[in-house]
Amino acid sequence: MKDYIVNAITSCGSIRVIAAVTTDICENARKLHDFSPTACAAVGRALTAAAMIGSTLKGEDDTLTLQFKGNGPIGRVIAVSDSKANVKGYAGDPFVDLPLKKNGHLDVGGAVGKQGYLSVIRDFGLKEPYVGQVELVTGEIAEDLTYYYAKSEQLPSAVALGVIVDKDLTVKSAGGFILQVLPGAMDEDIDRVEKAIGEVGEVTKLIEEGKTPEDIVSMLLKGYEIEYFDPMEPEYHCDCSKDRMARAIISIGKEEIRKIIEEDGKAEVCCQFCDKKHLFTKEELEEFEKIATK
Ligand SMILES: [Zn+2]
């Protein structure tokens, strides 16, 4: 099944669900970064969430960044999405691996850590991006996002994310859903979806069984009339360029650039999202030194 995301809303407007299959995204991320299974699950869950939230961005150039910064051995987990739900991401330590938890799941919470912050950064092309921040709850990614929605956006939500890593360390399947109770929902709506969420069970089981995003939506919104928006086909995509890297070098300032020229005579900048190396010659660096404003 090719990766895709569906956005759906009940006809009464009280419940919204986004559901996604993201197996290819997670496998492509794993290949690029050579992730351990635990890191693969951590970043894969974050990428899945970013793609789903990204699919709701309105402006073409809007971007969304999720940053999980806990006290665990993985360091930072970053996932970025554009408005087409194209995503990229990385982990501080892509090789961190922990024993499985008692329930057989990869120990993402142990890798991320329970103390720290989740930042949700929405960049609408304005001067300053909009940043929402909450403390981590479990470091398991989905629970932290659920808490973020309740605390920072006052939007009761259920977030479920799953990445299944096969014995050969490739991604077998990945996906998830975000269900949100919108303002105007009745108590009976809440009771109804809570019951449905309970019946649906673990998201990893659903994606392992090959359920489509529509299957997941109709299970969660059983008994409701459902309206679907056009599905989106997200991909792992890095939009880095030599030009953008040049701007990053220029921003470090004349003094730092001079240091690089004298110490190395060239610069090699590696993109954290795709591992691509961008090379700059001494002549290019001298040009940047001239342009730099500080
Ligand atoms: Zn890149």
CA of 239 to the centre of ligand 1 (A): 6
CA of 157 to the centre of ligand 1 (A): 32
In this prediction, residue 77 carries a pLDDT of 98
Give the tens place of pLDDT for each residue, 241-253.
Answer: 999 899 989 999 9
| Count of structural domains within the chain | 2
State the residue for tokens 């990428």: 47
CA of 276 to the centre of ligand 1 (A): 6
Confidence of residue 104 (pLDDT cuts 50, 70, 90): confident
CA of 11 to the centre of ligand 1 (A): 41
Domain boundary among 228, 250, 265: 228
Find the mean pLDDT for residues 259-273.
93
Instruction: Judge if 214 and 252 occupy the same domain.
Output: no
Give the tens place of pLDDT for each residue, 218-231.
Answer: 999 999 999 999 99
Instruction: Judge if 185 and 260 occupy the same domain.
Output: no
Q: Is residue 86 part of a domain?
A: yes
Confidence of residue 204 (pLDDT cuts 50, 70, 90): confident
CA of 221 to the centre of ligand 1 (A): 38
CA of 65 to the centre of ligand 1 (A): 15
CA of 191 to the centre of ligand 1 (A): 45
Instruction: Record the pTM.
Output: 0.93
What CATH number does the domain containing 19 carry?
3.55.30.10
Look over the chain and give the mean of its residue pLDDT values, rounded to a whole number: 95
Instruction: Judge if 183 and 261 occupy the same domain.
Output: no
Instruction: Judge if 47 and 16 occupy the same domain.
Output: yes
Q: Is the pLDDT reported for residue 19 higher than 80?
A: yes
Instruction: Judge if 87 and 134 occupy the same domain.
Output: yes
Q: Please state, as a whole number, how many other Cβ atoms lie within 10 Å of the Cβ of residue 114.
A: 16
CA of 31 to the centre of ligand 1 (A): 14
The pair phi, psi for residue 119, each rounded to 5°, is -110, 135
CA of 30 to the centre of ligand 1 (A): 14
Q: Is the pLDDT reported for residue 294 higher than 80?
A: no
In this prediction, residue 126 carries a pLDDT of 85
Instruction: Judge if 248 and 220 occupy the same domain.
Output: no
Contacts of 191 (CB under 8 A, 6+ apart): none
Q: Is residue 236 part of a domain?
A: no
What CATH number does the domain containing 253 carry?
3.90.1280.10
Instruction: Judge if 15 and 158 occupy the same domain.
Output: yes
In this prediction, residue 1 carries a pLDDT of 81
Q: Is residue 237 part of a domain?
A: no
- Taking the C-alpha atoms of residue 195 and residue 187, their distance in angstroms, rounded to an integer, is 12
Q: Is residue 18 part of a domain?
A: yes
Give the tens place of pLDDT for each residue, 35-90.
Answer: 999 999 999 999 999 999 999 999 999 999 999 999 999 999 999 999 999 999 99
Find the mean pLDDT for residues 126-144.
95
CA of 241 to the centre of ligand 1 (A): 7
In this prediction, residue 118 carries a pLDDT of 98
Instruction: Judge if 72 and 204 occupy the same domain.
Output: yes
CA of 273 to the centre of ligand 1 (A): 5
- Domain extent for 256: 242-291
Q: Is the pLDDT reported for residue 103 higher than 90?
A: no
In this prediction, residue 178 carries a pLDDT of 98
Centroid of chain to Cα 106: 17
Instruction: Judge if 219 and 284 occupy the same domain.
Output: no
Instruction: Judge if 201 and 59 occupy the same domain.
Output: yes
Q: Is residue 147 part of a domain?
A: yes
CA of 41 to the centre of ligand 1 (A): 21
Q: Is residue 157 part of a domain?
A: yes
Instruction: Judge if 20 and 160 occupy the same domain.
Output: yes
Instruction: Judge if 55 and 162 occupy the same domain.
Output: yes
Q: Is residue 233 part of a domain?
A: no
Q: Is residue 148 part of a domain?
A: yes
